[in-house]
Structure 1
Amino acid sequence: MILKLAMRNVLRSAHDYSVYFATLAFAACLLYSFTASGDYLLSLDLTADQRDIYGSASMVTQAFSVFSALVFAFLVTYANRFILRRRSREFATYGIMGMEPATMARILVYEGCVAAVVALGVGVLAGVLASPLFGAIAAFVFDAPWQPLLVFSADAALWTAACFAGIMALALALEVRSLRKHSLVELLDADGAPEQPKGAARLSVGLQTSLAAVLLAVVWGSCLFQPTQFIVWILPMGVAAVLATGMLFRVWAIRRPARAYRRPERLLAGLRLFDLRQLQARMSLNANAMACTCALMAVAVCMMVAGLAFSVGMRDGSGRLSDLTLAPIGYVGIFYGITFLIAAAAVLALQQLAGAADDRKAYRLLGNLGCDASMMRKSIRSQVGTCFAAPLVFALVHDVFGLALVAFVASVLGSAQFPLIVAGVVGVTAALLGAYYLITCRECGRMLLREEGR
């Protein structure tokens, strides 16, 4: 009975939370493809030198696959937290009907297991179907002959399944803990009450702006003028960049409405005032999370550019790779960059879906007041678009300095076509975020306007 109920809930959730399931499937597909492409590469007609180069780099690629799993662990945990909050009223109803907390926890675990198995199966299947494409990338990077073959790697599938098992076990343990911590009254109101910021900054706007400027000056200055020190201290530099970016997002959220009040004729047009207040609350609350996604995007762009620069850019006139020893860098950069980019886009989408769950009462009130449906849809597109565009724009600002370092290394090593590579990577990044933006707008609109029959 409990398993049947859990499966019914998962089927319903598959329709309601397409971004969540798509993200899990993407995670499985990339984790599988990253590992399986090595087996595919070794099945090609490689020279002895190519096999030696790949063998020497295999430990590096395995380490990066572990880091990819950690990135998706953060992503899945964040996604499951959103799902639990979105369905808290349902679990409160179970409790009111007399269901024991242990039984509700079992339902939650069963649902997570079913969702993970379905996403894992879809992701691995997608990875197998895409194996010619991923294999072509690996073959190109290592300058090996390519054949369009479907390849299934049992080792890669087992590794992906093991990663998913660990990730989902962590996420479900946190969900069960959160479910048991809340009373029935708290669960009933959790999907409508906005989250309260934790550890809100007590510094003034001016002090936050000054501190952010100092931190960014150190990070960007080190990247430009002390690249060796920047690489040695890259982790603390990354933390400083995230902190500074979060403060700037928070400052922007506070100051933007103040500037808008100076133009009342524009402020009172349509739902602009409503949009500004919603964005102010949302960006103030999610400033640190948006800063993390901004950093993920910035790192993803730099890694993909570096990967392509040390593969595509190292070709001679006949298209042959001039330095095979750089192939592992290209291989890792491309796949790891894609992993970060998809994780960032998915977190942004989930943030907006969580925000839409908070805004249902506000949009219901707008509908009761007679607000036009097209105006409300425009409001949704405006808010979601701003929350997608702001991290992307600031990530590109970070990349101006990060890519300067990559460009210097590429020029020293003789890599060519660097501007074209940068343009291509930025275009792909914008296209991926655009796709997630469209999906998110559709889901937010359905969530906010369905109750009014709009």
Structure 2
Amino acid sequence: MYFKIALNNVRKSFKDYSIYFLTLTLGVCIFYAFNSIGDQKAFLELGKRQAEYINILQRLISGISVFISCVLGGLILYANNFLVKKRKKELGIYMTLGMGKNKISKILTYETALVGIISLVVGLGVGIIVSQGISAFASKLFEVSLSNYKFLLSTDAILKTVLYFGIIFILVMLFNTFVISKYKLIDMLTAAKKNEDIKIKNPILTAIIFFISLGLLGVAYKLVIKVGLNPTDRMFLVSIVLGILGTLLLFFSLAGFVLYVLQRNKNVYLKGLNIFVLRQMNSKINTNFLSMTVICLMLFLTISTLATGLSFKNALEKGLENTTPFDASATYYIDEDSKIKTAEESIKELGFKFNPEDKIVSYNEYKLEKTNLESLLNKNAEGKNIKDIVEAMTYKGTNAISISSYNDIRALSGEKSVSLANNEVLISSNLGEVENTLKNILKNNEKIEIDGKEYKIANNALIGEGKVIKEAFESTGMTNNFFTLIVPDNIVSNLKPIANKININFPKNSNEEERVQKLFNEYRDGVVDSSKYGFVNGYTKARIYEDNNGMTNIVLFIGIYLGVIFLISSTAVLALQQLSEASDSIDRYKSLRRIGVSQKMINKSIFTQVSIYFGLPLVVALVHSVVAIKVVNGFLTMFNRPDIGVSSLVTALIMVIVYGGYFYATYTGYKSTVKNALKQK
């Protein structure tokens, strides 16, 4: 009998609470789809290096899925609480008919089990289809051929999904049993007539808390912009704490503060049904300020991870074109006590022979200890955090290479040589954050002192008016040339080099890349005795691209996984809150109709209320995201100047589809609930 009652209740709930079922289904779908990545047929025939990145991605997703399950579990419990509250009167009627709380809990347990099974079955079915699309997308990112593509089920992902969501639904059952045991009959029968108690009644206190929240957010923004994306800095963690606290206090005080302000503006307060809408909002403040804070932070993470995840990948990929000019590069760290002074000598001592067709350039890097570069940079500084950058650029002196070495590097790239007089130098840097500072130096015709002698900066005459040399001198995949002086040979002829570097271009259609990378790996893995042969740290362009591709794809997948889950979860809670409130507010809407308010005005008030509920957390999240994206973009300038245009459009499209879709479904559901209730006599 109880199972039959539960089955009938679930059938009715599918229409009234389709958003709840949809959210559970989407959660299962996304959870399975991402956890099945490593088992897809397309990845079973990868090369060793690519397979390593797939394994890393699979392990990360597996670990993050534990966190995701906690998020989904908490939000499902939260959403379930709204559904139970909505049914208080129905459950109260069960009690008046003589049904005990244990029997009611039994019905809810059956309902939860049915909902769980249906959600799992449908979600897994959709997830299996979605996983094939994700597999194709991932194959393209990892440059894997789809010629051997086969439809594949991941039994491990299915079992993991069933296990995790099974635990969530068991917790929901226990939660329902606990909640029912605490309810009183009188509360259940009169639940719909009760508003939340308003904790803040003093308008002055409300205003104070509101402005404190703005102050906390302002300080948080200032701190994080100052320290940048540096989790090791204590101020970075402080900014996060202040941001969360500021957001919490903002939503805690916002409704009361806005109500107080609008009450003083009678033209707005008394217009249409504004009084009703504002009171509706204010009546739920105890519940909503907590949920809106969580939702806002989740939306913030969604927008930030999606936008910066895509721009991170794009920035790195575009940056590789400028930071890998040669097929291979290596650095030999010179030991004064060693007889070996260059990378080529070390490699030859091992018995390794380069292909006669390989084009190789070897050059030395020096440190100039006595220059006025630091004061010159500070004098012409432009940009934030420039002082910290200047300290890094001038640490233990100024990096320098000779003009002959520079011309050798240019020749390897197919460029013409540059002539430099004995009293001239050139400045170079591929760090975007100092570009304007260096341009100011060129604009002001500054001179550089080296060992007490002044040298003219010849960039304007030899390179172009106001142009800084931004080309990379080696293939590293990173913008590691913070600042390098190109000087006449005589300046460094008597100096001891700090490092020797080689650049190599291989002949086409050769296996040199594999041979050379294997050699570099032997140095790095300790196969080569560094005490005897020294240490050569090198990478081939192909390896750099491969590593970059693997790393950026991992970041992108994790960002999408977290972003989509957070977006679905947060919008679902907003929707359920509003649909629950629609049922709670039926008597109030009936009162409006009795005093002559038209259906059109009621619909308008519903639209306004739903818009405010969906709009407030989104607006605050967008403000947070603007700051976060600015900070992340500052970090990405190390690799390349980021362009978030495309990623922002993709993020906006996802937000419009998911957030806009939930908003529309909530508005139509709310309006339908009220309209149907008003038709009843």
TM-score by length of structure 2 reads: 0.62
One-letter code aligned to 1:361: D
Mapping 1:354-365, distance limit 5 Å: 354-365=580-591
Q: Which residue of 2 aligns with 1:410?
A: 636
Whole-angstrom distance in 1 between the partners of 2:7 and 2:202 = 42
Whole-angstrom distance in 2 between the partners of 1:109 and 1:237 = 43
More off after superposition, 181-190 vs 12-21: 181-190
Mapping 1:89-238, distance limit 5 Å: 89-146=89-146, 150-196=151-197, 204-230=205-231, 237-238=239-240
Of the three residues 323, 326, 330, the one matched with 2:552 is 326
Note the C-alpha offset of 1:44.
5.4
Note the C-alpha offset of 1:385.
0.5
Whole-angstrom distance in 1 between the partners of 2:265 and 2:202 = 29
Change in CA separation of 1:238 and 1:121 when aligned onto 2, cut-off 3 Å? farther
Deviations along 1:389-415, one digit per CA (max 9) or x if unpaired, are: 111111010001111122123332337
Deviations along 1:335-380, one digit per CA (max 9) or x if unpaired, are: 1111111111111112212322332211111122221111111110
Deviations along 1:248-299, one digit per CA (max 9) or x if unpaired, are: 2343322323443455344433212222222233346411210110000001
Change in CA separation of 1:446 and 1:59 when aligned onto 2, cut-off 3 Å? same
Report sequence identity in percent.
27
Whole-angstrom distance in 1 between the partners of 2:201 and 2:169 = 30
Deviations along 1:96-148, one digit per CA (max 9) or x if unpaired, are: 11112211111110100000110111111111122232223333443433477
Whole-angstrom distance in 1 between the partners of 2:16 and 2:619 = 30
- Specify the SS of the correspondent of 1:252: helix
One-letter code aligned to 1:409: F
One-letter code aligned to 1:173: L
More off after superposition, 209-218 vs 428-437: 209-218
8 Å contact 2:29–2:127 — kept in the other structure?
yes
Whole-angstrom distance in 2 between the partners of 1:3 and 1:101 = 16
Whole-angstrom distance in 2 between the partners of 1:131 and 1:200 = 51
Whole-angstrom distance in 1 between the partners of 2:84 and 2:612 = 26
Of the three residues 275, 278, 281, the one matched with 2:280 is 278
Q: Which residue of 2 aligns with 1:260?
A: 262
More off after superposition, 172-181 vs 409-418: 409-418
8 Å contact 1:132–1:149 — kept in the other structure?
no
RMSD: 2.8
Whole-angstrom distance in 2 between the partners of 1:70 and 1:238 = 21
Q: Which residue of 2 aligns with 1:79?
A: 79
Note the C-alpha offset of 1:169.
1.2
One-letter code aligned to 2:183: H
Deviations along 1:63-108, one digit per CA (max 9) or x if unpaired, are: 1111111110111101110111111112111111111221111111
More off after superposition, 36-45 vs 182-191: 36-45
Whole-angstrom distance in 2 between the partners of 1:269 and 1:25 = 42
8 Å contact 1:222–1:229 — kept in the other structure?
no
Whole-angstrom distance in 2 between the partners of 1:129 and 1:174 = 33
8 Å contact 1:271–1:375 — kept in the other structure?
yes
Note the C-alpha offset of 1:41.
6.5
Q: Which residue of 2 aligns with 1:383?
A: 609
More off after superposition, 239-248 vs 202-211: 202-211
Residue 245, structure 1, aligned to residue 247, structure 2: yes
8 Å contact 1:311–1:330 — kept in the other structure?
yes
One-letter code aligned to 1:93: I
More off after superposition, 327-336 vs 254-263: 254-263
TM-score by length of structure 1 reads: 0.91
Note the C-alpha offset of 1:329.
1.4
Deviations along 1:162-187, one digit per CA (max 9) or x if unpaired, are: 11111111122111101011122221
Change in CA separation of 1:254 and 1:101 when aligned onto 2, cut-off 3 Å? closer
Change in CA separation of 1:272 and 1:252 when aligned onto 2, cut-off 3 Å? same
More off after superposition, 30-39 vs 44-53: 44-53
Deviations along 1:217-248, one digit per CA (max 9) or x if unpaired, are: 34222321113555666777545323312322
One-letter code aligned to 2:282: Q
One-letter code aligned to 1:155: D
Change in CA separation of 1:42 and 1:132 when aligned onto 2, cut-off 3 Å? closer
More strand by proportion, 1 or 2?
2
More helix by proportion, 1 or 2?
1
